[in-house]
Chains A and B, each alone.
Chain A
Amino acid sequence: MGNYILKVINLTKIYKTRRENEIKAVNNVSFNIKNGEIVGLLGPNGAGKTTIIKMICRLINSTKGNILYENDIKQKKRLNMAKNITCVLEGNRNVYWRLTVRENLEFLSIIKGYNPKKLKERIDYYIDFFNLRDKEHVIAGKLSQGMKQKLSIAASMVPPTKIVLLDEPTLGLDVKASYDMRKILKKIAEEENRTILITTHDMKVVQNVCNRIIIINQGQIIADDKINNLLHLFELKNYHFSIEGFITDEQRQLLNDIPHLEIKENDKNTEISVHIDKMSIFYRIVRVLENGGSIVKSIENSEIDFEKAYIEILGGIV
């Protein structure tokens, strides 16, 4: 059992292409998502994000593995999925271009099995939420890319499903529309009481939106943690000590076997930069300096933003 709403177990997808080539798009991926969590699935192009999303939505058969909903309902049947999940797939094409904003929201609710007459309040609520009121009776084909994307997401919010999947919500948007979309996502994260999984290759999209990030590369999960922990991990890594005067040879020897440590001296000061992965190493350095009587003027941990962390994780440093 356990307290989850979506459970992905050992999910694997191998695409068989012509000439007996095989592409392992998703490789033994497992994660649980709790009710109300907002999770970012982050990874470069071709990492397997869309494949995972489509397997959850039952648009693609998995090669191996299971997907369960709360109460351990298996997702074998498409209808189990349909009751629980709405999804916006990548690329701005999830709505009918010949129907107006409102007609789209109504028709797509019917498709999900809800009578739009009973969802009138929700439809109006989301038209306002996504700032689409003045476009309510405009056909979707005439909306800007950003507006179309907002409409697609609105359409996924109107039916009261428990889980919403958003695949690359900022893909193909210009700078301004992308900024707008990130603001909308943040608003969704703050105001919606739903479980949301957002995939993206752009860390800016998830940085201020998701409370948890799963990083995936070449079909495998390489990190899955609270965003703060991921950042913290990197804050620990780069330390910079400024020391008045010089350190002794004995101190130098004691520090010598610490990997990724660099000592620079200028005419008055010594600068020690270090890349560490355990706090114990940090304390060891502090002790060596303290015992040798060095005067530490400052300890700084270099600014690391999530972007840098992400790139480093992908580089396989962790």
Chain B
Amino acid sequence: MGGKWLLLKGFIKKERIEFSRYIFDTIVGIIVTLGLFLLLFYGISSLANNYNIGTTKSALVVGYGLFILYIGAYNSIADTIITEGKNGTLEQLYMSAYPFRWILIMKNIASSILGLILFVFIILITMLITGVSLNIDFFSVIPLAIITAPSFLGLGLIAGGLALVFKKVNGLLQILQFSILGFISLPISKSWVLRFLPGTLGTNMIQDIMVKSKNIFSFNFITYVELIGIGCFYLIIGSAIYNICEKVAMNKGSIGYY
């Protein structure tokens, strides 16, 4: 356990160093992210001007924040494999004293912490700029955001596994990114199937809290069991697919072979 803590601290330190050393990139990234969102936001608002879209606007802000958060969590895994593969450090991570999956997860947690900070920041800024008011119950939102994350970790493992075997997967990864946009914006009230998609139930609950002023105690026990079950399901599926891909890559000799 001490070892894993050390590993997590190491990744957090590395993220922090790179974050501040390349602060310009970071700031440009945040501005672009915000700018794109505002474009989207005012575009949709003017289109739907004639309707009563107060709640839709709020949902949009929350949805976008969640998208930024989970796209980060999802990307982190595939990105580790692709970027470190290209840079040539992936092999060093593979020869680590920790199972590679732990490396991926620790790195993911480290960048998710950053993502969570970015999430809060973006929500606050967009509320300020757009004048949308939201229920800022981060005490309810953050734990839910964390319980929902394993689904996206699972998707990330699938993407990472594919990246390990097939080197040119950027197109595929983008399709998966768009699907994530779908998963977090589909309303589970429309059909019972939707709640079983990765992350859909959790993000709907977060929407309810922030837009409809519910809190973490507004949902019953069964819903939480479902939420955790769905997360585990996608994480296990993701791990299994990743394992198969890793084995294929080790046979092909394609780990970090860009």
Contacts and interface: CB of A to CB of B under 8 A. Distances in A.
Contact of B88 (A13, A60, A94): A94
Interface of B: 3, 6-7, 9-10, 13-14, 17-18, 21-22, 87-89, 91-100, 103, 247, 250-253, 255-256
Interface stretch (A102-110, A177-185, A207-215, A276-284): A102-110
Nearest to A95: B89
A34 B100 CA distance: 30
Most buried by A among B89, B93, B100, B255: B89
13 contacts: A15-B252, A58-B250, A59-B250, A59-B253, A59-B256, A79-B97, A82-B96, A82-B98, A86-B95, A89-B88, A93-B89, A99-B17, A103-B14
Nearest to B254: A60
A94 B255 contact: no
A285 B209 CA distance: 100
B49 to A, nearest CB: 46
A39 interface: no
B11 to A, nearest CB: 8
A93 B88 contact: yes
Given A107-B10, A107-B14, A110-B10, A59 B92 contact: no
Contacts, number: 96
Contacts of B91: 57, 59, 87, 89, 94
Contacts of A127: none
Contact of B250 (A61, A85, A93, A97): A61
Nearest to A50: B253
Interface in A9-34: 13, 15-16
Most buried by A among B21, B91, B99: B91
Contacts of A110: 6-7, 9-10
Interface of A: 13, 15-16, 51, 54, 57-61, 78-79, 81-83, 85-87, 89, 91-99, 103, 106-108, 110-113, 115, 139
Given A86-B95, A108-B92, A103 B17 contact: yes
Given A60-B255, A61-B251, A78-B99, A115 B6 contact: yes
Nearest to B97: A113
For the residues of B in contact with A, the DSSP-based class is helix
Most buried by A among B22, B93, B96, B100: B96
B97 A111 contact: yes
A66 to B, nearest CB: 16
A115 B97 CA distance: 12
A112 B99 CA distance: 11
Contacts of B250: 58-61
B95 A87 contact: yes
A59 B95 contact: yes
Give 5 closest A-B pairs by Cβ, nearest first. A93-B88, A113-B97, A110-B10, A82-B97, A61-B250
B166 to A, nearest CB: 13
Nearest to A112: B97
A57 B92 CA distance: 10
B21 A98 contact: yes
Contacts of A106: 10
B253 A15 contact: yes
Contacts of B256: 59
Most buried by B among A15, A60, A110: A110
B81 to A, nearest CB: 14
Most buried by B among A16, A59, A83, A113: A59
Nearest to B89: A96
B67 to A, nearest CB: 27
A111 B17 contact: no
A111 B10 contact: yes
A51 B97 CA distance: 21
A113 B94 contact: no
Contact of A51 (B6, B95, B253): B253
A78 B103 CA distance: 13
A60 B14 CA distance: 28
Given A60-B250, A113-B6, 20 more contacts: A54-B253, A58-B95, A59-B91, A60-B251, A60-B253, A61-B247, A61-B251, A78-B100, A82-B98, A83-B97, A87-B91, A89-B88, A98-B18, A99-B14, A103-B14, A107-B14, A111-B10, A111-B93, A111-B103, A115-B6
Contacts of B103: 111
Contacts of A91: 88
Most buried by B among A57, A60, A85, A92: A60
Contacts of B9: 110
Contacts of B247: 61
Nearest to B8: A110
A155 to B, nearest CB: 8
A94 B89 contact: yes
A51 to B, nearest CB: 7
Contacts of A89: 88, 91
A251 to B, nearest CB: 59
Nearest to A155: B92
A85 B95 contact: yes
Contact of A96 (B3, B87, B98, B100): B87
Contacts of B96: 82, 111-113
A107 B92 CA distance: 11
A83 to B, nearest CB: 7
